[in-house]
Amino acid sequence: MILVTGGAGFIGANFVLDWLATNEEPVVNIDKLTYAGNLHNLASLKGDARHVFVQGDIGDSALLSRLLQEHRPRAVVNFAAESHVDRSIHGPEDFIQTNVVGTFRLLESVRGYWNALPDAEKQGFRFLHVSTDEVYGSLAADAPAFTEDHLYEPNSPYSASKAASDHLVRAWHHTYGLPVLTTNCSNNYGPLHFPEKLIPLMIVNALAGKPLPIYGDGMQVRDWLYVKDHCSAIRRVLEGGRLGETYNVGGWNEKPNVEIVNTVCALLDELRPRADGQSYAGQITYVKDRPGHDRRYAIDARKLERELGWKPAETFESGIRKTVQWYLENPEWVAQVQSGAYRDWVQTQYASA
Ligand code: NAD
Ligand code: DAU
């Protein structure tokens, strides 16, 4: 049994689905079901006894301690977080509560459980913290990609809260000996991505005939990784990572935002041409820049490749095509997340913890 937090969100749900598709080991999945948590993401697991879903907050120490005692997981994988940079700029409070205070409380619950384990189980236990490349700050155009030794220089409330959580995880290892692993990944994309983030927002806005807003000059660079490749990296680190180490995860796919948006438009032009025969690129509009917008992120993932033999399976070209196709084939998922109707569905499917 493993315990996953935030497993109804974009990456967490992809991870749970992949885990149970390739593995008999059950998963207990605790998620608060904020606006970003969606049990439709896990609908294919309905009736599968290997998946136990509990609606709850990682900051609820009593709930976490009870779940750990009851399910006795051999590992905890922490995805739960507030994840959207723009939201963190407009309202940082939830980011501090979940990403900092929530991670602290989760660490304390896990420490209490781990301390009481018999020696053999204690030895094998792992706490894997899922983090981001944004903790390293912004790279100059000609600077080498972020290695694990790069200084922490977070610039947004989101990245500062994630940096704080990484430091807590590190401290719980050094001070208490908790067997932790941390992964710092670049921008993910793929199925189940909430349409507030760049790629899914561009797909759903394009299809709805709405503007495609590019912040500032659109020359900010992000390093894109297909979500399933992030999931395979996490599994690899969980099984073979060295305790207390951090591993950068990325696919060597640096692209400026305008190129991403034009690629999405070109794929839609091919797969779902506009009725008027014009390109979706005509819907692009340049808007005011994000405050404090980091100019460039890029991940050096050689440590993960060297030590654990991990490599991404998708190229950006194959991954972005699959992604656009997935959104075209799942209009009901898009309608659900946009209408908020899935919240009503949640109440009929699962009881609160
Ligand atoms: P997401 O916003 O799609 O999902 C987050 C999930 O956490 C949601 O299901 C939400 O309901 C849940 N959650 C939020 N607060 C909670 C709380 N207090 N207790 C329990 N559950 C809570 O985010 P995502 O994009 O899937 O990101 C998952 C993790 O990966 C985050 O820690 C994020 O920082 C990290 N990450 C994301 C990316 C990316 O590109 N999306 C890249 C690197 C790292
Ligand atoms: O780098 C990893 C991070 O990637 C994760 O830790 C975060 O959880 C995740 O949200 C993501 O953060 P970004 O801010 O890079 O992702 P976002 O999709 O919000 O934006 C990607 C880029 O596109 C960024 O430079 C801002 C720009 N952008 C975004 C939106 C939503 C636009 O130009 N227009 C938009 O409408």
Query: For the chain, how many structural domains are there in total?
Result: 1
Is residue 333, in this structure, part of any structural domain at all? Answer: no
* Angle made by CA atoms 348, 59, 351, in degrees to the nearest 5: 15
Q: What pLDDT sits at residue 348?
A: 60
Is residue 337, in this structure, part of any structural domain at all? Answer: no
Pair 140, 115: CB distance under 8 Å: no
Joined tokens for residue 25: 């080991």
Residues classed as catalytic: 133-134, 158
Taking every pair of Cα atoms in the chain, the longest distance, rounded to a whole number of angstroms, is 68
Is residue 267, in this structure, part of any structural domain at all? Answer: no
* CATH code, 243: 3.40.50.720
Q: What is the distance of C-alpha 35 from the center of its chain?
A: 15
Is residue 132, in this structure, part of any structural domain at all? Answer: yes
Measured by CA distance, the residue closest to atom 3 of ligand 2 is 187
pLDDT, tens only, 167-195: 999 999 999 999 999 999 999 999 999 99
For residue 235, the tally of other CB atoms under 10 A from its CB is: 18
Q: Which residue range is the domain that position 135 belongs to? A: 2-188+226-251+297-313
Is residue 156, in this structure, part of any structural domain at all? Answer: yes
Give the relative orientation of helices 257-271 and 316-329 as an angle to the nearest 10 degrees: 50
In the predicted model, what is the mean pLDDT of the chain? 96
Pair 283, 206: CB distance under 8 Å: yes
Pocket of ligand 1 (CB under 6 A): 5-6, 8-12, 31-34, 36-37, 57-59, 79-83, 98, 102, 130-132, 162, 185, 187-188, 194
- Of 152, 198, 203, 258, the one to substitute when testing ligand 2's pocket (max ligand atoms within 8 A of C-beta) is 198
Measured by CA distance, the residue closest to atom 35 of ligand 2 is 198
Q: Say if residue 259's pLDDT is above 70.
A: yes
- Kindly give the number of the ligand 2 atom that is closest to the alpha carbon of 162: 6
pLDDT, tens only, 86-130: 999 999 999 999 999 999 999 999 999 999 999 999 999 999 999
Pair 5, 81: CB distance under 8 Å: no
Mean pLDDT across 239-247: 98
Q: How far is ligand 2, taken at its centre, from the CA of residue 293, in Å?
A: 10
